[in-house]
Structure 1
Amino acid sequence: MTHRSDWPAGYFIGERGPQADAALVDAFRKLPVPNIGDCMGRSTGAMGLTAYHNDANLVLCGPALTVKVRPGDNLMIHKAIEMAQPGDVIVVEGAGDLTQALIGGLMRTSAQTRKIAGFVIDGAIRDLNEWAEGGIAVWARGNTLRGPSKEGPGEVNSRVSCAGLVVSPGDLIVGDADGVIAIPYDQLTTLLPRVEAHALREAKIRASNQSGTSDPERFNAILRAKGCPV
């Protein structure tokens, strides 16, 4: 096995991360991202990203293939696309830089051919009209017409920090109209039943709200506990 010390400074291509069972991925695909976030402490989730795929109903759910790049350079993203398996989500640490786009329409075409599920980019994209055609998800920090360099350095399949998310290869990325979240691989099996139960509780509350039978004690008890007489 190749070790990081064998690579030139600033360059590294690691092994794929662990791959979640397909049934587990499908189960998370059916759950709203806010419910997942609620069960992860309400303090995790990508910040400052915009969906550019023009499809509010599109759900992104797949294992992370991670990339770390120098701001404005996409050499290692090209390598990640070449390495990707169907259903992968390419997650890019790009330092939030908006001076040069990291991916565009031509890379979108390559990604579609390889059946990549989508991209989460802490940086800029371009060719917005093509991304708006849908068919592949993309969240990014912003956009610019200015293209990237292809010199490196960069890394593939190392731990990255992307828009407030810490993501390791193989972590499950889930994205919907509300945003994007990363679930550590080793938490998937324990988290799933908690999120499913949370979704059921919310469905019951929603039904009582709609019928006008919601219980005021739900919040009155909290107020009394804080010393507020109600």
Structure 2
Amino acid sequence: MSNPVWPKGFMINPRPESLDPELLAAYRKVPSAHASDCLGRLTGGLGLRAYHNDIGLTMCGMALTVRIRPGDNLMIHKAMLMAQPGDIIVVDGAGDLTQAVMGGLMRTTALTRRIGGLVINGAIRDVAEWAEGELPVYALGHVHRGPSKTGPGEVNVPVACAGMAVTPGDLIIGDADGVVSVPRDALSDLLPLVKAHAEHEDKIRQVNREKGGDEVRFAELLRSLGCPV
């Protein structure tokens, strides 16, 4: 059977294989800041705003990616129909804020399909509905002007989202501090690092609690930089 011929600018690739459930469960306990620190502080979305009011709302799931023409949401609809419960829809809308590519109607679809969260490199609308907090959503901004549904666009291709490289099947972590993408092939190796990082922070916190800070540590750091302290 020959490969289908897609119109120029259109592509729909299959949903990636689901992530290992045990690995996914372990990462649900990982804050975005810990993942970011252990990835060298070089990855993660920048400039994204959480539009859900509940600061304690988090997301952790596999990325389904969408690249759209700015202001068009046809392929976002397709990706949502392909999503399994818990999947995170990541949309590269080229940072356009002149037209919203998701609104309250699509939010209802996402809730019904139990989508785990949304990351939009662009704008949304119906902000009051998103604020209810049942569904994590991060976007660059909002505007009342709605989208077109004519394409082109692509589903499950590598995208750039708010300065963050995301490949279909990567892990997306989102919380009050922001959004981080963890490459799928790094998940097993990164997990012990984030666990060790959490233990290290617990020790620092204990010192801060007992002594009000670590004077010796920071004196040594300053001396290593040439400061006469």
Indicate whether the TM-score tops 0.5: yes
Q: Percent identity?
A: 60
Task: Please give the secondary structure, in 2, of the residue aligned with 1:92.
Answer: strand
Change (3 A) 1:10 1:199: same
Q: Tell me if structure 1 keeps the 8 A contact 2:15–2:83.
A: no
What's the secondary structure of 2:140's corresponding residue?
A: strand
Other structure's SS at 1:72 match = coil
**1:6 Cα deviation (Å)?**
2.6
Once the two structures are TM-superposed, the CA of residue 162 in structure 1 deviates from its matched residue by 0.4
Matched residue, 1:229:
228
Q: 1:207, CA displacement in angstroms?
A: 1.4
Shift of 1:21: 1.1
Which moved further from structure 2: 158-167 or 21-30?
Answer: 21-30
Give the unaligned 5+ runs of structure 1: none
TM-score, length of structure 1 as denominator length? 0.96
Cα distance in 2 for residues equivalent to 1:11 and 1:194: 39
Question: Over residues 105-159 of structure 1, what are the superposed CA-to-partner deviations in whole Å (9 max), with x where a residue is unaligned?
Answer: 0000011111101100000000111111111110000001111000000000000
Amino acid corresponding to residue 89 of structure 1 in structure 2: I
CA displacement, residues 57-112 of structure 1 (integer Å, 9 cap, x when unaligned): 01110000000000000000000111110000000000110111000000000111
1:117 counterpart residue number = 116
Which letter does structure 2 place at the counterpart of 1:116?
I
Structure 2 CA distance, aligned partners of 1:6 and 1:168?
23
1:208 match? 207
Instruction: Assess if the C-alpha contact under 8 Å between 1:64 and 1:88 holds in 2.
Output: yes
TM-score norm. by structure 2 comes to 0.96
Shift of 1:19: 2.4
Q: Distance in 2 between matches of 1:16 and 1:43?
A: 27
Equivalence for 2:140: 141
C-alpha distance in structure 1 between counterparts of 2:2 and 2:120, whole Å: 27
Mapping 1:133-212, distance limit 5 Å: 133-212=132-211
Q: Quick one: distance in 2 between partners of 1:188 and 1:136?
A: 24
SS in 2 for 1:151: coil
- Secondary structure of the structure 2 residue equivalent to 1:86: coil
Structure 1 contact 17–168 (Cα < 8 Å) conserved: no
Ranges in structure 2 where 5+ consecutive residues have no aligned partner: none
What residue identity is the alignment partner of 1:169? P
For 2:76 and 2:160, the matched residues in 1 are separated by 15
Residues 18 and 185 of structure 1 are in contact (CA less than 8 Å); yes or no, is this contact kept in structure 2? Answer: no
Distance in 2, Cα, partners of 1:2 & 1:45? 39
